[in-house]
Amino acid sequence: MFGRSPSKDLPELIPGHASHEGTQAYAADSGLAEAHFSDFGKEALKLSSLGLGTDFGEATDAIDAGYREALAHGLKNGLNVVEAGISYRFGRSAQAAGAAIRDAVADGVAREGLFVVAKGGFMAFPGGPPEDLGTWFKNNIVKKGLGTPEELAEGPHLLSAAYIAWQLEQSRQALGVETLDAFLIDQSEVHIPHMETKEDLNTRLQKVYAVLEMAVQAGNLRSYGLATWKSCRVPTNDPMFQSLTSQVATAENAAGDPQSHHMRLVTMPYNVNMLEGFTRFNQATGQGNVASTVQTAYQLGLYFIGTHTLMGGQLLHEQPPILRQTMGNLRTNAQRAMQFSRSTPGVGTAMVAMADKAHVDEALELARYDPLARKTFLKMFEQAEDDDSGEEAAEG
């Protein structure tokens, strides 16, 4: 299941994985601010505070070329986190990211300095979605033992151990690496409405996590985690809520030993307009307190990645005035939005989809600055509250 050799028409997979020494050297050679890099895991990998995403754009050759050039430029100059879901743009994003990784390595970037993230769960349709999903699913999934209709949810999203194992292998091939540094299960919460209890979802996730643990043992993967959309932003009593503590316990059960599981990451949308990860205290940590998702991730040893840093481009045009007031030294709205997210205490990396080299240069310009000091960051919330109070008084 995990050891298949690459096809003859594909380039050889690049050996290695992100390492302490490799990422330390990468950070030192980047010439960027030391605080631009965050520590990941027990190995203390140095990961860039801004990451290269690939989830936007049409499925065209032009966008492919843009991603390849932009990602390679970023990887060569100080952005060492790159992520591609195997379903993004019908698989084309992962192929473009793989080409960029090969370009960067060919130009002298050590594989050990890069953190390569794949993502699965949503179904991949190379070439575009089928006209008849039911027939396609029967022929390509059921007959091949990759899943059943009962394991399917809207998206379409297939949460079966066999299908996740297949997507992990496809991701390795597309990204061109022998070992993925991380694999994320994307939005497993979409299955909650189709199940009687959340324990049913955790039972299924335990089987998925067990497959990922096997991939770690096989040397094809280093770590895994959960990519969420809504489940960590809602209140605890919302039907869609997922507990991080429960997910870690599920991973421990999958590994068979609380000390040996490899769940290491959690991602969720986080930006100045989507603050729940930092401001909503909805997670019981198992350590006697209730905390935000960002805080809980830290307490559980999970690396927090913020997604939708620019809110789908909205923050390029409209931002709370407090950002310009606090970060007037920065040149663009994009830089201020990225600075806000990566400066949030507990956020390791803020992901931004960039298919344009000029946008990467904008991020690299920001990476020459330190993130905001904690005191400065928190003061923005105090000022915002004061402004709101003043408006209420004026209205009264």
The model's confidence at residue 394, banded by pLDDT at 50, 70 and 90, is very low
User: Residue 288 — pLDDT band, cuts 50, 70, 90?
Assistant: confident
Pairing of strands 182-186, 115-120: parallel
pTM > 0.85 = yes
Q: Do 150 and 209 contact (CB within 8 A), yes or no?
A: no
If you search the block for the tokens 């050996």, which residue do you land on? 15
Q: How confident is the model at residue 382 (pLDDT cuts 50, 70, 90)?
A: confident
232, two tokens = 């960590």
| Sequence-distant (≥ 6) Cβ neighbours of residue 69 within 8 angstroms | 100, 357
- C-alpha neighbours within 13 Å on the C-beta side of residue 28: 7
The secondary structure of residue 336, as a DSSP letter, is H
How do residues 163-217 score in pLDDT, each as one tens digit? 999 999 999 999 999 999 999 999 999 999 999 999 999 999 999 999 999 999 9
Residues 270 and 292: their CA atoms lie apart, in Å, by: 12
Radius of gyration of the chain (CA): 21
The span from the CA of 301 to the CA of 279, in Å, is 19
In angstroms, rounded to a whole number, what is the distance separating the alpha carbons of residues 207 and 325? 49
Could you give the maximum distance between any two Cα atoms of the chain, in Å?
A: 73
Instruction: Calculate what percentage of the chain has a pLDDT beyond 70.
Output: 94
Check if the beta carbon of residue 54 is closer than 8 Å to that of residue 88: yes
Beta-strand runs (E) in 263-319: 263-269, 283-284, 290-291, 303-307
Q: How confident is residue 276, by pLDDT bands cut at 50, 70 and 90?
A: very high
Sole residue written with tokens 């009264």: 396
Please confirm whether the linkage preceding 321 is cis (ω < 30° from 0). no
Instruction: State which amino acid sits at residue 265.
Output: L
Could you read off the pLDDT of 250-261 as tens digits, one per residue? Answer: 999 999 988 899
pLDDT at 9: 60
Residue at 152: amino acid letter: L
Q: How many CB atoms lie within 10 A of CB 312?
A: 13
**Dist CA 268 CA 261 (whole Å):** 21
| Contact (CB, 8 A) for 343 and 380 | no
* pLDDT, position 385: 67
Which residues does residue 350 pair with via DSSP β-bridges, in sequence order?
50, 306
| 176 Rama sector, left if φ>0, alpha if ψ -120 to 50, beta otherwise | left
- The SS3 call for residue 85 is strand
> CA-CA distances (angstroms) from residue 219 to 20, 46, 60, 392?
17, 21, 33, 58
Mean pLDDT of 22-51: 97
pLDDT, averaged across the chain: 94
Q: Residue 28 has what pLDDT?
A: 98
